[in-house]
Chain A
Amino acid sequence: MSDDLAIEVKDLVRVFESRKGFFYREKTRTEALKGVQLVVRRGTIFGLLGPNGAGKTTLTKILSTLLLPTSGTVRILDHEVVEDAHWLRSRIGLVLGGERGLYNRINAKENLRYFADLYGIPPSERDHRIAEVLERVDLVWAADRRVEEYSRGMKQKLHIARGILHRPEILFLDEPTIGLDPKSARETRKLIRSLVADGVTIFLTTHYMFEAEELCPRVAVLSKGRIVANDTIAGLRSRVGGDRTLEVEAYGFEDREVDRLRGLPGISKVVGEDFGPLMRLTMRDRTGETTPDQIRDLLVGHPELSVRERRTSLEDVYLDLVEEEAR
């Protein structure tokens, strides 16, 4: 494993077996991860995208020593994730977030103190460090309030505070902004950026494409347990057919019109979607040669025809990749 790698995953497979039915005799087998390969460089933010049930949380839990792999190798900070789990646990942080996972009847300070002791943070540094992380997540004002009085956003901040308490070298964040209001989500993203500036490696799973686009220089898309793409945002855009997207809306299109659009220079993909009586055709333009006027000329005679051009978003890329995998 190269020195600049924080995470290296090779041929990772995870199978869940469960029993159901009368006397639990019916055995079900679910392959949650099917030969995952990825590397994450130290001091970077790596984004993992994927639909519900793709295996993101399973992968995060394996990387953070909370789940054993069925096969394959996982090395974190050049240590094997199963054999060296206890060593690794002092060097990684995990934020699963949500309403659960905190002692609600005691205050934030006491929650953090408990986990500081479990991590063996020296008593001489403990209280200072607790104050520092509370300051960092902007919870000093509520530090002495019981967690049961916290809003969802405050709990999320406390989860993050706990995750960074022992100054981990790698922080795993599983959908850290889910359910947060826009202000809290923005503050969380700011915090994530500041952690990277401090040299922390971030492994982030998210559903929000703009978040990945804003934070992650490199993202992987996980679909049905497989990494279907792993590249820079620009690399992913070019992979799905270009940086430019054209959207055409009208009250229905004929097949021959769609075929003609497909034949325009640089157009790599045309996908149709219905919006009530309206139909939208989304096209990826690989070369930037096709102009909106050319499209209007081709589709002459359509009342209420609208043609827009925009930059291909990560969401477009993501949807293309996930749909491709589904087919």
Chain B
Amino acid sequence: MTLATSPDASRARATGASLRLAILLFVADPQWLVPSTIAPIVFGLVSFELFRGEGPYFLTYAILGAGMMSMWGQTLYGSGWATGQDRQLGTLEPTIQAPTPYLYVVLGRIIWNVIAGLFGGVIVYLVVVIAAGGPPRLPNPLLFVVLFVFVMVTLASVGVVFAAAFVYSRYAGFIQNVGEFAFYIGTGCMFPVILLPFWTNPIALLFPPTWALDALRYVSIPGYSGFGWGWEWDLVGALAVTGVYAAIAGTVFSRVERHVLETGNLSDY
């Protein structure tokens, strides 16, 4: 008699197991220390020097700029790459062969990447605070923290799409690398989207992080005008677009899974 339970019963455990595995693999591989620990320190120091003296809220600018720089890669690209790594290791095939739908495995990795991204954000915060000799002036610290976490969630929602792309094809890494900087600049990770040519704005609004980052800037930098509709509408927009991403994720994954079972390319890398 099989010991395996039904796929429905094992979904939450699969997500938990995937999160646990992501932590174990992170700890086991020293190369991840660079993007997760050393890079945020460097970004924090560089950002502090770049923004130093740029008005009363320069510390907030420095933290947001460096924080996003260190978090977006960890959360968004880390989520996609986790599946790419499964392809490379040849573990995608046995994972898909398990009864739990692969989406729940991806969710576990994404949770870890959000945590790791936040860890990078905290390091940036600490570096900038230590360099400045004190914390930044935040008009609404609680809202700042909530939106900071929410930005991570929106980055992760795009990460799910990248994860699906990695299941779909071994060439997803190529697409991800090509789009890396376009996405980074286009969603406002580096500087507000409103500074970019107007025609790029509607495209940028298709991505949840654009909305969430705009909201975060609203609540942390007094006088910031952004898209001009206030952080509340930014939040509504971010929730709506993230919801759409979440809704299509399940469909995309089941279709992608069917596609790879048709093409038989699960073991290619």
Residues of A within 8 A of B6 (CB): 87, 90, 120
Given contacts A98-B90, A117-B16, contact A89 B98 (CB under 8 A): yes
**A162 at the binding interface (Cβ < 8 Å):** yes
- B58-66, B68-76, B256-264: which lies at the A interface? B256-264
Q: Which of B117-137 contact A (CB under 8 A)?
A: none
Is B223 at the interface (CB under 8 A from chain A)?
A: no
In the assembly, what is the distance between CA of A162 and CA of B21, in Å? Answer: 16
Those of B2-29 within 8 Å (CB) of chain A = 2-7, 9-10, 13-14, 16-18, 20-21, 24-25, 28-29
Q: Of A64, A65, A113, A118, which one neighbours B10 at CB under 8 angstroms? A: A118
Distance between Cα atoms of A118 and B10 in the complex (Å) = 7
A96-126 contacts to B, CB under 8 A, are 96, 98, 100-106, 110, 113-115, 117-122, 125
* Contact A90 B4, beta carbon cutoff 8 Å: yes
Q: A113 CA to B18 CA in the complex, in Å?
A: 11
Minimal beta-carbon separation of B24 from chain A (angstroms)? 5
Interface bits A38-55 vs B (CB < 8 Å: 1, else 0): 000000000000000000
Interface residues of A in 183-211 (CB under 8 A from B): none
Q: Is the CB of B7 within 8 A of A120?
A: yes
Which residues of A in the span 66-118 have a Cβ within 8 Å of any Cβ on B? 66-68, 86-87, 89-91, 94, 96, 98, 100-106, 110, 113-115, 117-118
Whether A125 lies near B3 (C-beta < 8 A) is yes
A181 to B99, CA, bound (A): 33
Within 8 A of B (CB), among A104-154: 104-106, 110, 113-115, 117-122, 125, 129, 146
CA distance A139 to B89 in the complex (A): 21
From A166-174, A247-255, A295-303, give the one contacting chain B: A166-174
Q: Which residues of B contact A167 (CB under 8 A)?
A: 1-4
Does B266 interact with chain A (Cβ within 8 Å)? Answer: yes
CB distance from A245 to the nearest CB of B (A): 39
Beta-carbon contact of A61 and B21 below 8 Å: no
Are the CB atoms of A119 and B264 closer together than 8 Å?
A: no
| Contact sample, A vs B, 28 pairs, CB 8 Å cutoff | A61-B264, A65-B97, A65-B261, A66-B93, A66-B96, A67-B264, A90-B5, A94-B94, A96-B94, A96-B267, A100-B90, A100-B91, A101-B90, A101-B91, A101-B94, A106-B24, A110-B21, A114-B17, A117-B10, A117-B16, A118-B17, A118-B98, A119-B4, A146-B28, A162-B94, A166-B2, A166-B4, A167-B1
Given contacts A66-B96, A102-B91, A120-B100, 6 further A-B contacts (CB under 8 A): A67-B264, A96-B93, A106-B25, A113-B17, A114-B18, A146-B28
Q: Which 7 interchain pairs have the tightest Cβ spacing?
A: A100-B90, A120-B10, A117-B17, A90-B4, A120-B5, A118-B98, A105-B28
Chain A positions within 8 Å of B, measured between CB atoms, are 16, 58, 61, 64-68, 86-87, 89-91, 94, 96, 98, 100-106, 110, 113-115, 117-122, 125, 129, 146, 162, 165-169
